[in-house]
Chain A
Amino acid sequence: MTEVQLPELSRLRWRCRRGMLELDLLLNTFLDAEYTSFDIQQSELFETLLDYPDQVLFDLLMDKMQASDIDIAKLVDSIRKANTKISREKANVTER
């Protein structure tokens, strides 16, 4: 499944609405940048991550805690990287 249906994306988008601004930004930026290229496994993994409590997600994504599950750790890393990359691009665009 490479073509992700629209309702699926909007369902995930709602699940990316969290109690903390940092999580809203991190998760939504990642969703916008990467989600269309997801395969089924990645999509399931992302949903697993979304089941984590906010505070745990925050600690993982802000690098205060390491996930013991290797796949989750990788996903966390790619969410962080996607955000840093996009932040850098934005910074460069606006600074020039």
Chain B
Amino acid sequence: MKRRQFDTLIIGAGGGGLRAALQLSNADTSVAVVSKVFPTRSHTVAAQGGMNAALSNVTQDNWHWHMFDTVKGSDYLGDQDAIEYMCRAAPKAVYELEHFGVPFSRLDNGSIYQRPFGGQSQNFGGDQAARTCAAADRTGHAILHSLYQQNIHAKTHFFDEYFAVDLLKDEEGHVLGALVFNIHDGEIIVIEAKTTLLATGGAGQLFRTTTNALINTGDGLGMALRAGIPLQDMEFFQFHPTGIAGRGMLITEGARGEGGYLVNGDGERLMERYAPKAKDLASRDVVSRAIATEVRDGRGCGPNKDHVMLKLDHLGEAVIQKRLPGIRQTCITFLGIDPAETPIPVFPTAHYTMGGIPTNRYGQVVVPVKDTPEEPVFGLYAAGECACVSVHGANRLGGNSLLDILVFGRAAANHIIEHLAENRYHLTMDENSIDKAMENLQRWDQKGKTDGESVSQLRDELKAVMEEHCSVFRNEDVLKQGVEKVEQLARRLKDARIDDQSSVFNTAKVEALELDNLMCCALATIHSAYARTESRGAHSRMDYTERDDKHWMRHSLYSLESGLDYKPVRTKPMSVDSFPPKPRVY
């Protein structure tokens, strides 16, 4: 088997992975970046909205207000030291990007334009702030392309279209790289590294209706879990109330802002019952839960009664064409309907993975060891959406995740540079760990029982189960059944098979490995959600409607070996006073 050695292995070439790689290559360390798709096709490209930083270009602003908003937005589950660090570092992160060539939109006076997003305030909860920097509507694209070019320049070594299967260790559990294979020809390589950074992005594909691309299958989370590392706060998954039913892409709030409204299967304006005042403009979680409740109670639309309708046709074609042209185009393309004539089928859509691999603010992966809740795992780092550092806590604010991936990608790289200075030699790999990774890979090469179930069938079932039992409508019964169903699916996956045994572009095998990872994420998510008997941020329970700080202001940790464990929230910031929990009202 081929072996390669590098100082650092980075798994993932989105904004998080590329930012770290650049820092490391510029520091003259040898860096390998492995990505299952060509780097500039990573999911970061989809982020069109922008990135937050308190630059004060449009409204008065400062990092401390940004910090307050982020802590409040997190429903007090975010770690305040990491949040302070991120908000302080934000302006610098923006100027760095500018320096790398990101063409931020400008104001007439030449400074960077900033737009207002939800949850942004001045003076600790006062007037609206404008904090989001954007490069027109292609911020993610601009960031990814600039960082990629910079990395090529800095001679970062890319393994494009390689799939990482599992982490590799020595006998003491130090992480020493990963087993990867080339999707083109199936060639397997052991990449040995003194340090490994996971930057594999989110897991939106866990749910049937999602805004995430097909590549977002939580691979890094699966790898971590199989390596014995618990996943943190996985019950917190952000949903957007109006995705196109069965397809996932967003219909922005703008559609309801222009006068669109939701109707159920009986033709009734459903939001009148759930939010008599704000109606269709109630907050995201209220609208999401209302839709899910209607469907559960049998008042959905369509033959399967599995969605509700967003009506815009009463607005007239002229208004729709003028104010909502993008939505019209999306509907025509993906539904074959014109919203000027026909209502749009919608359902809450999974958007962002708040939970992930637990890290500290240096990007080191941390696990509980005896009485220490956060002991670094030697050689292992994580950054970006796959990590839980935790700056988003129970709920992420728009524009904060591009910031997160860049700030902590850089921070992780800086810590890695220090680590490399102190640890100059490669350690000896435990061959058993290679064997184990090979087993996980080659299990899909076996012809399998002909009566084994197909991967695609199981994946579809898993996504449907997660949507029914673990999206926005959660209570004891629904979650309990969900736990049983996911456990059962996990057992059935052991006997699944794939038909394609070729080594060239065996996408069937890739999809099977992705399903292994999704299954890990599903177990962590549903177990953590079932156990948390309160409502906080994105985790909202119909049977425990209040936030319960006394029992639940703590992070969940789920591991395959020992199930659930908890650790305290870091409420102490680096330099300022902590923000004590308050009711989260906007």
Which chain A positions have C-beta within 8 A of B212?
21
Does A44 sit within 8 A of B, measured CB to CB? no
Question: Which chain A residues lie closer than 8 Å to B311 at the CB level?
Answer: none
Residues of B within 8 A of A26 (CB): 333
Taken together as a complex, chains A and B put the C-alpha atoms of A83 and B334 apart, in Å, by 7
Query: Are B213 and A21 touching (Cβ within 8 A)?
Result: yes
Chain A interface, >50% SS class: helix
Among A54, A64, A88, the one with the most B-chain Cβ atoms within 10 Å of its Cβ is A54
Q: Are B138 and A21 in contact (CB under 8 A)?
A: no
Partner of B40 from the list A14, A22, A25, A53 (CB cut-off 8 Å) is A53
Chain B residue, CB-CB nearest to A83? B333
Our pick among B37, B46, B161, B502 for the contact of A21 (Cβ within 8 Å) is B46
A91 close to chain B: CB less than 8 A = yes
**Chain A residues positioned under 8 Å from B149 (CB to CB):** none
- B282 contact set on A, CB distance < 8 A: none
Contacts A19-B42, A54-B41 given: A87-B329 contact, CB under 8 Å?
no
The answer to whether A21 and B214 have CB atoms under 8 Å apart is yes
Binds A, one of B390-398, B503-511, B531-539: B503-511
* Nearest opposing residue in chain A for B248, CB measure: A21
* CB neighbours of A11 from chain B (8 A): 184, 504-505
In the complex, whether A94 has a CB less than 8 A from a CB of chain B is yes
- Contact A24 B333, CB 8 Å, known A14-B183, A19-B37, A53-B40: no
Chain A neighbourhood of B475, CB < 8 A: none
The proximity string for A residues 23-66 relative to B, scoring 1 for CB distances below 8 Å and 0 otherwise, is 11110000000000000000000000000011100000111100
- Contact A19 B505, CB 8 Å, known A54-B141, A91-B336: no
Q: State A83–B302 Cα separation when bound (angstroms).
A: 21
- Shortest Cβ distance from B252 into chain A, in angstroms? 14
Contacts of A13 in B (CB 8 A): 505, 507
Partner of A19, one of B44, B247, B329: B44
Q: Is the interface of B mostly helix, strand, loop or mixed?
A: loop
| Interface assignment of A74: CB less than 8 Å from any CB of chain B | no
Task: Flag A3-21 by CB within 8 Å of B: 1 or 0 each.
Answer: 0001100110110011111
The reply to whether B502 and A7 form a contact with Cβ atoms under 8 Å apart is yes
With contact pairs A14-B507, A19-B44, A54-B141 given, residues A25 and B37 touching in the complex (Cβ less than 8 Å) = no
In angstroms, how far is the closest chain B Cβ from the Cβ of A33? 14
The answer to whether A20 touches B213 (Cβ under 8 A) is: yes
Q: Is B288 an interface residue (CB 8 A)?
A: no
B215: contacting residue among A17, A61, A62, A85, CB under 8 A: A17
Interface residues on B, range: 35 or more
Any A CB within 8 A of the CB of B169: no
With A and B bound together, what is the CA distance between A7 and B183 in angstroms?
12
List of B residues within 8 angstroms of A64 by Cβ: 329
| Nearest CB of B to A13, in Å | 6
State which residues 23-43 of B face A: CB under 8 Å.
37, 40-43
B332: Cβ under 8 A from any A Cβ:
yes
List chain B residues, Cβ under 8 A from A17. 37, 41, 213-215
The answer to whether A95 and B303 touch (CB under 8 A), given A17-B215, A63-B329, is yes
0/1 string, A66-93, CB within 8 A of B gives 1: 0000000000000010011111111100
CB nearest neighbor in B for A87: B336
Residue in B161, B337, B505, B506 whose CB lies within 8 Å of A91? B337
User: Would you call B120 an interface residue if the criterion is a C-beta within 8 Å of the partner chain's C-beta atoms?
Assistant: no
How many residue pairs, one in A and one in B, have C-beta atoms under 8 Å apart? 107
* Residues of chain A contacted by B249 (CB below 8 angstroms): 21-22
Return the contact of B504 from the options A10, A18, A61, A86 (Cβ within 8 A).
A10
Question: Do A54 and B337 touch (CB < 8 A)?
Answer: no
Are A20's CB and B335's CB within 8 A? no
Contact yes or no, B507 A10, CB < 8 A: yes
Q: A94 with B213: in contact, given A55-B141, A62-B329, A87-B335 (CB under 8 Å)?
A: no
Q: For B141, what are the chain A residues with a Cβ–Cβ distance below 8 Å?
A: 53-55
Min CB gap A43→B, angstroms: 15
Q: Name B213's contact: one of A14, A19, A62, A87 (CB within 8 Å).
A: A19
- With a CB–CB cut-off of 8 A, which chain B residues contact A19? 37, 40-46, 140, 144, 213, 215
Q: A18 contacts B41, CB within 8 Å?
A: yes
CB of B211 within 8 Å of the partner chain: yes
| CB of A46, distance to nearest CB on chain B (Å) | 16
Expressed in whole angstroms, the minimum distance between the Cβ of A21 and any Cβ of chain B is 5
Would you give the shortest CB distance from A68 to chain B, in whole angstroms?
A: 19
Nearest to B243 among chain A residues (CB) is A21
Residue of A nearest to B38 (CB): A15
Give the chain A neighbours of B329 by CB distance below 8 A.
Answer: 62-64
Docked complex Cα distance between A54 and B138 (Å):
10
Measured between C-beta atoms, what is the minimum distance from B415 to chain A in Å?
Answer: 28
Given contacts A21-B213, A53-B141, 6 further A-B contacts (CB under 8 A): A11-B505, A14-B161, A19-B40, A19-B42, A25-B247, A91-B337
Report A's interface with B, CB cutoff 8 A: 6-7, 10-11, 13-14, 17-26, 53-55, 61-64, 80, 83-91, 94-95
What would 17 A/B residue contacts be, using CB atoms closer than 8 Å?
A11-B184, A18-B41, A18-B213, A19-B41, A19-B43, A19-B213, A20-B213, A21-B46, A21-B210, A21-B213, A23-B213, A26-B333, A54-B41, A54-B45, A63-B329, A87-B334, A91-B337
